Chain A
Amino acid sequence: MDSREIKWGLLILFIVLLGYLLPYTVFTETPHWYGSFLLWSLLALAIIVINYLFTRNWGE
């Protein structure tokens, strides 16, 4: 793994950790769409963008 891979990898790991921690702490008392539902949706979108940027020059 080179430094670029490590940087992106850590970013993904951080997002995954947020996906575990926030719903079980900050959002336990937010029974609305803008609680855990929104959080997980935004994190998933972030993952899509990250993968897009990370792999953008594959095969060129």
Chain B
Amino acid sequence: MMLRSDLQLIADWIPARSRVLDLGCGDGQLLAYLSQHKKVVGYGVEIDVNNVIRCVSSGINVVQGDLEAGLSDFQSDAFDVVVLSQTIQAMRHIEQIMVEMLRVGREAIVSFPNFGYWKNRLQILQGHMPVSETIPYDWHNTPNIHLCMLRDFEALCAKNQIEVKERVVMDGGSRIDFLPNLLGSLAFYRIGRAV
């Protein structure tokens, strides 16, 4: 089974046999891969009923629900890793979900499109809201309400006593180590509670 490249990166960060909560799990692709290849057990949370049915079809544990309602269904420290993949930019209560993720999980993995990506900056300079591969929506028709750049995200982590354990920035499938806030289109963070 081939995983989408961004999900593969997340999968590589997840230790075998860990307990995983995948928030906004979509059709359950990541969890299916993890349970098959890494003996991971866990649950997905998904709001769309058609995706819930897809998860059920592939034997993935899925709980239909709205992340904005919080994670009160889950006990503290119930998971090793909580995943929030390319969803945070469309959420209303960002700080709440980040704190909650690290309440129920020892560690969290968050990925989001980097608004600071040069193609986005260029379009703004040209006088338009950006539309790019990782932000593929017109301004009037976008679910994204909280776009940010790498530095913004890191500042928010610091504000909430969240430690960045690892960061990878990608563009079109390759890792970007030089000027990531400018040259990277997709950011991945592995975060934990700062002690």
Do A and B bind?
no
| Residues of chain A whose beta carbon lies under 8 Å from any beta carbon of chain B | none
